[in-house]
Structure formats: C-alpha cells, structure tokens
Amino acid sequence: MKRIVTATVINQSGVLNRITGLMTKRQFNIESITVGHTEKEGVSKMTFVVNVDDNAKIEQLIKQLNKQVDVLKVTDITDQAIVVRELALIKVISNAQIRSEISGIIEPFRASIIDVSRESITVQVTGNSDKIEAILDLLRPYGIKEMVRTGITAFPRGSQKSVTDLKQYSILN
C-alpha cells in the first residue's frame, strides 16, 4: 500500500543522504521524494511516497526516521485530511492545427501551456497524482515527447474534519 510520510528535518548537510540511505538499508521503496524549505529558517520538509506491505513496516520506517538526530518530526499523513500537490511538465507533440484542440483538453484541468515550438507544446499541470494521471491519459494519444513530475508535497489541511474529505471514502482508492 502507498503511504505518504512527511519528515521535518534540520537543514544540515548530509541529512538527505542519511534518510535515503536508511530507507535503502531497510528496504523501503521510495516512489517519490520532495524536499524544500519551510516557514522556519534552517528547517526543511521532506515528503515521501513509499510502498509498504503492512502497517508494521510503515511504523518501523517512522521509528527509524525518528531516531535520526537531525529529524524533528515524522508523520504518516495518508489517513489525514491533507492537501497534496504535484507538478508535472508534459511536452506534447503538436503542430499548429491541433494546438487549440489540446488547449481545450487541458482547460478543465486548469493546466497551462508554458512553452510552444513548431512541433510541440509544453503543458504545466499541478494537482494530486490522480489528476496528473488523468491528464496524461488524455494527452498520450497525441504523443508525449518528454514528461517530468516533481513527486508530491503535502501537509494536513487547516481543519481536520475528516468527514468532508470524501477522498478517503472513495471506492477508487
């Protein structure tokens, strides 16, 4: 099962190495990882998506991460009401004729075209992973020349009324 884990860390050199090394050593598969500064100076936040077999494994990961001296806090936020965003850049093969067609496809996704050349356009889209998968599905028939994704970054919503978070009850997940 996929779990989203965030770790607040002191921004020391080597901390990323320690954490990814730990995950390799303990045989955790990192699906994606993002790191960046937070509102506090010297403190960074990492967001991992990991694939684990069971709850015991994820508990072990959190405990091992917590043992690191430069790690301040580790949370498995998968089951909380969270805001999740990922950015993708998609270079789609497109000549002038079908440019507007693509533009129409991506419009409902609130994606934007950020680069245009004679043979291709580059689409930028942000959202949760499902949304990005959906737009990729629609663009694939046109031919995707290149695609990069940032991996997700996330944190809990301001209020934790989980009833409003319908995603948890979706049968698709």
Partner 1 sequence: MRAKAKPEAEAVTAEMTGADVLIHSLKKENVDVLFGYPGGAVLPIYDALYRSPIKHILSKHEQGSIHAAEGYARVSGKPGVVIATSGPGATNLVTGITDAMMDSLPLVIFTGQVASTVIGTDAFQEADIMGITAPITKHNYQVRDVQDLPRIIKEAFHIATTGRPGPVLVDIPKDVANKTISPDYDSTIHLPGYQPTFSPNILQIKKLADAVGAAKKPVILAGAGVLHANAGKELVAFSEKHRIPVINTLLGLGSYPGNHPLFLGMGGMHGTYTANMALYECDLLISIGARFDDRLTGNLEHFAIHATVAHIDVDPAEIGKNVPTQIPIVSDAREALKKLLEIESPLPDTEEWRKKLTQNSEDFPLWKKVSTTEFLPQRVVELVHEYTKGDAIITTDVGQHQMWAAQYYAFADANRWVTSGGLGTMGFGFPSAIGAQLAFPEQTVVSLTGDGGFQMTLQELSTLQELNLPVKVVIMNNQTLGMVRQWQEAFYEERYSQSLIPVQPDFVKLGEAYGIKSFKVTNEEEAKAVFEEAFSHREPVLIDCRVSGKENVYPMIAPGKGLHQMIGVKP
**Contact stretch for partner 1 (CB under 8 A) within 46-54, 59-67, 115-123, 133-141:** 59-67
Separation between Cα atoms, residue 104 and residue 100, nearest integer Å: 6
Separation between Cα atoms, residue 97 and residue 170, nearest integer Å: 39
30 binds partner 1 (CB under 8 A): no
Judge whether 88 and 129 are in contact, CB under 8 Å. no
**Nearest CA to 110 among 137, 91, 94, 128?**
128
Please select the residue that binds partner 1; options are 18, 99, 145, 157, rule is CB under 8 A: 18
Given the complex with partner 1, which of 71 and 90 has the nearer CB atom?
71
Produce one character per residue of 86-112: b if its CB has 16 or more CB atoms within 10 Å, e if not. Answer: bbbebbbebeeeeeeebeebbeebebe
Given the complex with partner 1, which of 31 and 70 has the nearer CB atom?
70
64 binds partner 1 (CB under 8 A): yes
67 binds partner 1 (CB under 8 A): yes
Question: Where does this chain bind partner 1 (CB under 8 A)?
Answer: 9-10, 13-14, 17-18, 21-22, 25, 56, 59-60, 63-64, 66-72
